[in-house]
Amino acid sequence: MSAPNAKKPPFEAIEHLTADAVEAARDAVRRAGGGAPAPAVALILGSGLGPLADRLDDRVAVETAALPHYPLSTVEGHSGRLVFGTLRGVPVAALAGRVHGYEGYAPWQITFPVRVLAGLGARSLLITNASGSARAEFEPGDLMLITDHIHLSFRSPLRGWNRDDLAPRYVDLEEAYDREYLALAERAALDLGIRVRRGVLFSSLGPAYETAAEVRMLRALGADAACMSTAPEVIVARQLGMRVLGISCLTNHATGLSEKRLSHDEVTETADRVRETFARLVEEIVSRLPAAR
């Protein structure tokens, strides 16, 4: 199967992050967005969850491949669109298609979209992903509110260029995932009758799934689910002062917890199955966020 963006031209590569590059991409988004209102909330939609962007009212879609310096998304289920609109009357920007380190990008490149979203005015980030459950009692199709993460790609998105007048070099991650937002999300799920889990997310580089031994290790470290994204984006979001809520769609049991062999097809199939439930929860949460008021 060819990559979704195989026919698109390569993005304009630059060697390292610069303020000019972020500003150029931000300004291009504003022009392409045709005067769409500045987003109060940014959404990053994980594997198979991109269609949630189609639920926005007054949608304006921007192809990220057309933006300067913006990395191309090459993974199935990540279309590479930045969609502006409103959700329950709240101005949002939804990124349907993130990029990953395993696609060959540097950490600063996979977090470039977060800097653009913050530059557009978003002060809250609702970030989602598809993850493998490391706990037998967490079933495929469950939604997990991320309480913390373990980032073991050993590649920091903060390494390299920094402007101390724009963002701090050293970032406090004591509350990487906002406690008020977590409580708000739990109340929203309860009101909707949607069961949610709480757990710690293990973030690795990928693209290989974890071995059974690695799953035992990450459980010993305190992780409840594993993914190949999210932690770098959250680190940069916190550097930029954004408040973060993370939700994992648990699409499969990790290696050693199931007799089924893992595949990306299973990931997208499970995400498709729970898409409506996930969308209802996201809509309700967005309507309740302080940024919405």
Question: Of 69, 100, 149, 253, which residue is the catalytic one?
Answer: 100
Question: Of 185, 228, 242, 271, which residue is the catalytic one?
Answer: 228
Could you write out the three-class secondary structure of 229-271? Answer: CCHHHHHHHHHCCCEEEEEEEEEEECCCCCCCCCCHHHHHHHH
Question: Of 53, 210, 252, 291, which residue is the catalytic one?
Answer: 252
Question: Of 40, 73, 79, 103, which residue is the catalytic one?
Answer: 103
Active site residue 1: no
Question: Of 63, 66, 102, 217, which residue is the catalytic one?
Answer: 102
Active site residue 2: no
Active site residue 151: no
Question: Of 264, 269, 279, 292, which residue is the catalytic one?
Answer: 264
Question: Of 24, 36, 47, 93, which residue is the catalytic one?
Answer: 47
Active site residue 176: no
Question: Of 21, 61, 78, 134, which residue is the catalytic one?
Answer: 78
Active site residue 100: yes
Active site residue 253: no
Question: Of 28, 65, 93, 130, which residue is the catalytic one?
Answer: 130
Question: Of 73, 79, 204, 229, which residue is the catalytic one?
Answer: 229
Active site residue 252: yes
Positions marked active-site: 47, 78, 100, 102-103, 130, 228-229, 252, 264
